[in-house]
Amino acid sequence: MVRKKANPEQEPKSEYRRLVPFTDKYIKEIVTPRQGSRAREVAAKDLPSREDNVDHLWTGIFTHYFPKKMENFFAVQREPYPSEESQARTDLAVVNLIHGKIHKVIMFEAKRPLAPEDPTPTATDWNEVINQLRGNMIRTRNAAGAIQDMYGVVAIGAWARFFKMSRHSERLLRIPRETGEYDFDVQNHDGKIEELLKKWGREIRMGKSR
């Protein structure tokens, strides 16, 4: 796969690029190498951005498309446990209310960029974080019951992949771009990302995921 990096000058097409505070600042932090520290008596060198920048970026995105003002439908949780028995947390979850109970309907896992300039991940690079997402979605479903379809997003740096898990299956269905590729860049493919998130919101609110 040709490794490419996000274009900082890309014209924004989505609401999250235009309206969500700090979005482009977080993207710049993600795609820009950071300097290593001389304080630890090692040579200063370029390092990848930290994972928390990826989390901050997607917290803003999810909060915009699944806002608190729609409290009868959605809320965004930071680092929730997939179930009461879980020892590890997931990075983010969007929850909804069904019959008065809170259910995780979208789950998110993130990793920092693979290298200082945020190259396009390979299929092998994606496997670890996708398996982590799937495991957390299954744990959530086993605890809460298979009452609705679930959705998932994984991000490595400024790159993301999108998934859907039918309520009748534990298989993750990959969602492609128009070109048939599965890697989404939060800058250059922001219009398509927005389209997907709005579609998911409509499906969940209208009960089409049940």
What pLDDT is stored for residue 116 in this prediction?
A: 86
Can you name the CATH fold of 15-205? tt1808, chain A (3.90.1570)
What pLDDT is stored for residue 86 in this prediction?
A: 84
Distance spanning both ends of the chain, measured CA to CA: 37
Residue 201 and residue 66 in contact, taking contact as beta carbons nearer than 8 Å = yes
Quickly tell me which residue has 């983010």 as its tokens.
92
Number of continuous H segments (helices) and E segments (strands) in the chain: 5, 9
The length of the chain, given as a count of residues: 210
The separation between CA 196 and the C-alpha centre of its own chain, rounded to angstroms, equals 12
What pLDDT is stored for residue 163 in this prediction?
A: 98
Gap between the Cα atoms of 34 and 47, Å rounded: 5
- The pair of structure tokens assigned to 67 is 């806002």
- The pair of structure tokens assigned to 110 is 């993130």
For the chain, domain boundaries? 15-205
pLDDT along the chain (210 residues), means of 10: 51 92 95 70 69 96 89 88 89 93 96 89 93 97 94 97 96 90 94 96 88
